[in-house]
Chains A and B, each alone.
Chain A
Amino acid sequence: MTKPPIYGVMAEFDNPTKLVSAAREARARGYRKMDAYTPFPIEELTEALHLPKSKLPVIVLIGGILGGLTGYLMQYYVTVIYFPINIAGRPLHSWPMYIVITFELTILFAALSAVFGLLALCGLPMPYHPTFNVPRFALASRNRFFLCIEARDPLFDRKVTEEFLESLDAREVSEVAH
């Protein structure tokens, strides 16, 4: 498959309401490969774009379990096997004393997997992305709302898609170069 000549077509909107209704309409038209860019999280977009549920909770759960196991087993290994100290005949496997460090390492591993999981799921760090070629895109982190229909969408047609976006009460429609 050859690479399409442009990345996609991007429309700029004034407010979140217009963006969400545009996303819904584009979805209804049959466009699937699209993304919205906004200066703050908008709950309705997740549903309008039919985004999959975030996989982050599973990653964090696995991280937390690994952390807890690491904490407990490390203490067990050190106090029972590697460096046992007999203090007045008290049991070596003194599990109540392990709880604090087990807990702390559970939190530490879970938090680390939350952050690295977030970066991985977002594909960050990503120094280059075609959307940054649109000069007005800098406003996506200030006060403008963007919807981009990508060229890899089967329904994508440079002219038709541009006209469609223009019909959605967009402020400006521009092509996104690679």
Chain B
Amino acid sequence: MADEKQIADEGLRQTAVIAPGYTFGTVTDQIASVVLTRRTPVFWITCFAVGFALLLLFLWSLVLLLAKGVGIWGIKIPVGWGFAITNFVWWIGIGHAGTLISAILLLLNQTWRNSINRFAEAMTLFAVACAGMFPLLHMGRPWLFYWMFPYPNSMGVQPQFRSPLVWDVFAVSTYATVSLLFWFVGLLPDLATLRDRTDNRWARAIYGILAMGWRGSARHWSNHEMASLLLAGLATPLVLSVHTVVSFDFTIAIVPGWHSTFFPPYFVAGAIYSGFAMVLVLAIPLRHVYGLQGLITDKHLENSAKVMLATGLIVAYAYILETFTAWYSGNVYESAAIWHRMTGPYAVVYWCLLTCNIAAPQALWIKKVRSTPALLFVASLIVLTGMWLERYVIIVSSLAQDFLVSSWRTFQPTRWDWATYVGTIGLFTFLFFIFIRLLPMISIFEVRTLLPQAKVEEEAP
């Protein structure tokens, strides 16, 4: 009997996604203490300061943009999209991993997601916020953004519902709203925990208002479980649709290099690829600084690396297929577009992107690489760079050399292109570190359910 228990315990330890020895109390206290302590780690202050400095750079370039117009960027016809849309697609892709972790892995009953879903969802929200900046600023007159929505107006005009750009408005705004709602529903019980744990009057009042009087009643929980499940079921097709619609912005145009049917799955895979890279870039330093290795274990990092490898292979397949289709189509413009990419003015960027996105991640086949956080961190940075280059090549090289040689013109980013891009990285960092300081970065109640004590033991009949 004792042996059996020991074997069962050993089995549990091997499959456990959190380290042994935790109790409901210690899990709660460890995660809540990051928020409720008076001491702020130097790491946090440094990252926040860097984020804040870059945010100021963003605001500076924003003011200049509003004062002088989009001419401060390098965009000129025929390359009208330049950095802005590159950054938009890059950021929104990063957001996709958060929804994948919180929604799709919930439906697939992957319990390991429970300790990384909260900050991955936060990452989604802030990435979508950064993404939204670009089309908005790219419009030139961002204060008239509401013209994109159908509303009765004295101009007597309405949006063109047959345009993928209008679909994008609906897809991205729905995505931002649903992500926020899903995040808030997950936060509700943890806000109640913070309300009950804090000894600061103001903090209790604020967390209390946000928790809305949550008291963990069995009736609450049964509805809450149902709501999470339904929201996950809704967010799953949504996340796949968002990057599909983003890819429609390209495929529905007839520009060579854009007009192809495999863009939707290719874009979705690329989005998840870069998103998991961002999850790792955030998780590896955070768990180290806050001593959360027991909750965000090596298994989490390894699983994320595996998802990255798998989606990376899909992306690699798409690159091969893209080249093959261009050749096999027999269309002179299509094959010229790919040939220009490989040998033209953007050849260096193209080969860099292939190295970053195809060659570098192959190291993830090796278990040693997957279980060494430092190497994973570097691999993730390479993937993030590669995915940005990919969007840059798709947008800029296709637009720069289209059908008529007389209209060809290359794109040169200006310093304000770079300032706006780096500035949104600042905005993201700023928002993310505020989140880390003020809200529990790991879902406390979902981690409690992972503990072996959480199981109700049925008496033997």
Contact = CB atoms under 8 A, between A and B. Distances in A.
Interface of A: 15-17, 20-21, 35-46, 49, 51, 54, 56-57, 60, 64, 74-75, 78-79, 82-83, 85, 94, 97-98, 100-101, 103-105, 107-108, 110-112, 114-115, 117-119, 121-122, 124-129, 131-132, 137-143
Interface on chain A toward B: helix, strand, loop, or mixed SS?
Answer: helix
Contact of B227 (A42, A45, A74, A118): A118
25 contacts: A36-B217, A39-B28, A39-B216, A41-B445, A49-B218, A56-B223, A74-B150, A78-B161, A79-B162, A97-B162, A98-B161, A101-B170, A107-B238, A110-B234, A112-B177, A112-B181, A114-B181, A121-B223, A122-B217, A122-B220, A122-B224, A124-B220, A126-B212, A141-B195, A142-B24
A170 B318 CA distance: 61
Contacts of B28: 39, 141-143
- Name the residue in A39, A44, A98 with the highest tally of chain B Cβ atoms < 10 Å from its Cβ: A39
Given A104-B174, A127-B213, 10 more contacts: A21-B459, A37-B218, A38-B221, A41-B224, A56-B223, A82-B158, A107-B238, A110-B234, A142-B28, A142-B196
A56 B167 contact: no
Contacts of A45: 218, 221
A130 B327 CA distance: 73
B25 A38 contact: no
A107 B241 CA distance: 11
B215 interface: yes
A41 B221 contact: yes
Contacts of B221: 38, 40-42, 45
B230 A57 contact: yes
A114 B227 contact: yes
B237 A107 contact: yes
Contact of B215 (A51, A57, A94, A131): A131
B230 A138 contact: no
A40 B244 CA distance: 36
Interface of B: 23-25, 28-29, 150, 156-162, 164, 166-167, 170-171, 174, 177-178, 181-182, 184-185, 189, 192-193, 195-197, 208, 212-227, 230-231, 234-235, 237-238, 241, 245, 248, 445-446, 448-449, 453-457, 459
Interface of chain B: mostly helix, strand, loop or mixed: helix
A15 B453 contact: yes
A100 B178 contact: no
Contacts of A124: 212-214, 220
Given A79-B161, A138-B196, A107 B230 contact: no
A131 B159 CA distance: 52
B192 to A, nearest CB: 5
